[in-house]
Structure 1
């Protein structure tokens, strides 16, 4: 989608955060995973992007975070995402990727802030190619009025 889509970041929420010190062993191999999920607020025309990065050793997480960025979408763009019957909201893949990138950057800052002055501050959220993890746009079923 080459046209510009108007939006504004309205809220950031930390859904969960945990340091599980007993699951961490210095010197063991560290693995990283990130998951995404999405939500909408139809009334306020908002899209929420949830990002959940985690650091693991031997299949057990030792550093867990889930944050969400809540984006207000301008009316014209929101309406352009709706199907003609107004039963589905189809958010284009490029826009989902852009909002996810912003949310990952926010998660990077939250992780730093939450681990500051702890030994776990050395675990930085790596750069993530959202093109590899987000292959399609997101379709939401809308509530019938």
Structure 2
């Protein structure tokens, strides 16, 4: 895959999912520190040329989660761009790190909005997903096996 191809990707946001949203009935104590764990996952549906980015954020106090949010963005990628990511011989789909980071940043922003909507008018609304650089969570190109993912359809 050439660097030019990686920079010129035609895609659209085709769907948003709230895969998990668990909220505690009680707000954590204001005077105690809160820890946040974040994670990313990527999946593909080769037949539909869809890529799903799943962003997870867990807020904990004393190692007990009080907010868990998992939100996904499903991106439809045009065939020419999709083919630039495919290595048919190795049966691999390689998403360049900068583009994966861009999609991850979009997904984190979406999760931020979902969390706000789900906690609006509750004591948990003061907890927001930090505006950090989510792209830094991705250390290298995202490589997915086509065999492993071809039969895993996304909503």
TM-score, shorter chain, exceeding 0.5: yes
Is 1:72 matched up with 2:98? no
- Listed as ranges, the gaps of 5+ residues in structure 2 are 151-155
**Cα distance, 1:136 vs structure 2:** 0.9
User: What is aligned with 2:49?
Assistant: 45
Higher relative contact order (CA closer than 8 Å, sequence separation 6+): 2
How many residues align structurally?
Answer: 145
The answer as to whether partners of 1:53 and 1:65 remain within 8 angstroms in 2 is yes
Q: Where in structure 1 do 4 or more consecutive aligned residues deviate above 4 Å?
A: none
Task: Return the match for 1:19 from 5, 19, 23.
Answer: 23
Task: Return the match for 1:112 from 104, 107, 116.
Answer: 116
Encode CA deviations 1:23-56: one digit per residue, 9 max, x unaligned.
7233211111211111101111011000001111
Q: How far apart in 2 are the matches of 1:20 and 1:46?
A: 33
**C-alpha distance 91-9 of structure 1, shift in aligned 2 (>3 A):** same
C-alpha RMSD of matched pairs (Å)? 1.8
Is 1:138 matched up with 2:142? yes
SS at match of 2:147: coil
Q: How far apart in 2 are the matches of 1:44 and 1:37?
A: 19
Q: Give the structure-2-normalised TM-score.
A: 0.87
Is 1:100 matched up with 2:104? yes
More deviation, 20-29/83-92:
20-29
**Cα distance, 1:59 vs structure 2:** 1.0
SS at match of 2:72: strand
User: What is aligned with 2:153?
Assistant: none
Task: Return the match for 2:61 from 33, 52, 57.
Answer: 57
Task: Return the match for 2:12 from 5, 8, 11.
Answer: 8
- Listed as ranges, the gaps of 5+ residues in structure 1 are none
